[in-house]
């Protein structure tokens, strides 16, 4: 899964990127108008997978992962993000908007002062405008070609109307079928959005932002950017004490990833073996045949049945085969809804 980190100039995007990934990408003036994206793939910590792997000592251990992208953005005269520079964000699965809520007199705010709620509106407006442009261009083209009698055309009209009033589409806007029609457009305001409030040591008032987020069902998450960036760069063993001083048990990375999983209703299932033990992330409600398709399309096509065990039963029995002997296995068909923590073995025939 890919998450793009965006925000106004000097909101602390790279600082938050570093806090979440443990990287040391240059921040502030040192970044000197960097035009390259900073990328980092972060393993999703999972003790269940670690325990399963300890039974097999596999050649390969593969955690689920999230790819964070800190993309270079351009800004217009009013401080908004230009539509053109958002092009790469369209490929991301989710968007994290960093909002500056730290006070730091030596760092100029993007707009004349720092106002977290106004800044969020500014970013949202940029996303809405970027989507509007794309939808309108497509609509004009369909008009010209007189292709008005299609689902795409009708929906585009609705999209343009909605965006025209400054309203984001929202993550639930498209049905699964419509999402397929519009996949290539990468509508930004239809992606899952996470608002990351970069609070810094001294935090600016942002109750209005929290209230507005709660009212509109927008997700928000606090990170003390400067300090968490420094902590993330320490060896894991040293991180604990510093976090404890802040009253935290875990680094920003773990907290944020857990938050992403629960907000997006993601769950994990596992595949195990001597070659590889692996965690797979799927949406809650995914069927066994669709889960099989995540592993390989052949497994979905030739699906016969799934052998399913709870991860605890596999650990207690010693391995998957032992769990089978101990009658801890269930045979499930295509429509079985995979549960968080299931260990799956797909029987198939192609
Ligand atoms: N005091 C304070 N300064 C911060 C914080 N986060 C970022 N900064 C500073 O703000 C400036 C811009 O940060 P940077 O991460 O480069 O922002 P970007 O332009 O959005 O990528 C840098 O000088 C950072 O050191 C924070 O939480 N507290
Ligand atoms: Mg930056």
Alpha-carbon distance of 49 to 63, in angstroms, equals 7
Q: Is the dihedral of CA 242, 13, 252, 24 positive or negative?
A: negative
Alpha-carbon distance of 303 to 238, in angstroms, equals 47
SS3 224: coil
**Chain centre to alpha carbon of residue 346:** 28
Atom of ligand 1 nearest to the CA of 227: 27
109 lines ligand 1 (CB under 6 A): no
How high is the pLDDT of residue 36?
85
**pLDDT tens for each residue of 236-250:** 889 999 999 888 889
Confidence of residue 13 (pLDDT cuts 50, 70, 90): very high
For residue 30 the two structure tokens come to 């040192």
HSE-CB of 100 using CA atoms within 13 angstroms: 24
Please name the residue whose Cα sits nearest to atom 27 of ligand 1: 200
User: Which of the pair, 134 or 237, is modelled with greater confidence?
Assistant: 134
How high is the pLDDT of residue 295?
96
299-to-153, 278, 290, 334 alpha-carbon distances in Å: 36, 16, 9, 11
Return the number of other C-beta atoms located less than 10 Å from residue 226's C-beta.
Answer: 20
Please name every residue paired with 6 in a beta bridge, in sequence order, or none if there are none.
Answer: 97
**pLDDT tens for each residue of 51-107:** 999 999 999 999 999 999 999 999 999 999 999 999 999 999 999 999 999 999 889
**Candidates 8, 28, 36, 101: which one to mutate for ligand 1, based on the most atoms within 8 Å of Cβ?**
28
How high is the pLDDT of residue 147?
86
Res 128 pLDDT > 90: yes
Alpha-carbon distance of 100 to 120, in angstroms, equals 9
Residues within 5 A (CB) of ion ligand 2: 13-14
**Candidates 27, 71, 123: which one to mutate for ligand 1, based on the most atoms within 8 Å of Cβ?**
27
Q: What is the Å distance from ligand 2's center to 89 Cα?
A: 15
Query: What are the structural domains, with CATH classification, of the chain?
Result: 2-263 (3.40.50.300), 285-348 (3.10.20.30)
**Candidates 104, 197, 221: which one to mutate for ligand 1, based on the most atoms within 8 Å of Cβ?**
104
Q: Is 327 exposed, middle or buried (0-12, 13-18, 19+ CB in 10 A)?
A: exposed
Q: What is the Å distance from ligand 1's center to 205 Cα?
A: 17
Atom of ligand 1 nearest to the CA of 31: 16
């Amino acid at each position: 899964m890919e998450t793009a980190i965006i925000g106004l100039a000097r909101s602390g995007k790279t600082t938050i990127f570093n806090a979440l990934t443990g990287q040391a990408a240059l921040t502030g003036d040192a970044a000197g108008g960097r035009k390259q994206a900073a990328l980092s793939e972060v393993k999703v910590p999972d003790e269940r997978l670690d325990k399963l792997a300890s039974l097999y000592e596999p050649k390969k251990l593969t955690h689920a992962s999230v790819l964070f992208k800190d993309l270079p953005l351009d800004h217009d005269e009013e401080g908004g993000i230009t539509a053109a520079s958002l092009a790469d964000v369209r490929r991301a699965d989710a968007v994290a908007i960093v909002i500056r809520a730290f006070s730091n007199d030596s760092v100029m705010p993007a707009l004349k002062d720092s106002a977290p709620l106004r800044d969020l509106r500014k970013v949202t407006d940029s996303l809405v405008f970027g989507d509007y442009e794309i939808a309108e261009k497509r609509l004009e083209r369909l008009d010209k070609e007189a292709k008005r009698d299609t689902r795409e055309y009708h929906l585009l009209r609705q999209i343009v109307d909605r965006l025209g009033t400054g309203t984001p589409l929202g993550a639930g806007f498209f049905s699964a079928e419509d999402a397929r029609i519009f996949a290539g457009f990468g509508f930004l305001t239809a992606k899952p959005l996470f608002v990351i409030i970069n609070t810094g040591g001294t935090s600016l008032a942002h109750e209005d932002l929290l209230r507005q987020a709660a009212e509109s069902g927008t997700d928000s998450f606090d990170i003390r950017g400067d300090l968490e960036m420094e902590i993330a760069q320490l060896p894991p063993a040293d991180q604990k004490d510093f976090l404890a001083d802040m009253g935290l048990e875990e680094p920003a990375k773990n907290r944020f990833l857990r938050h992403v999983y629960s907000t997006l209703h993601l769950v994990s299932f596992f595949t195990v073996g001597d070659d590889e033990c692996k965690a797979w992330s799927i949406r809650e409600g995914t069927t066994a045949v669709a889960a099989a398709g995540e592993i390989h399309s052949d497994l979905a096509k030739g699906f016969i049945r799934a052998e399913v065990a709870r991860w605890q039963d596999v650990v207690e029995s010693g391995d998957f085969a032992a769990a089978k002997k101990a009658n801890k296995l269930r045979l499930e068909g295509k429509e079985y809804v995979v549960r968080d923590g299931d260990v799956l073995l797909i029987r198939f025939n192609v």
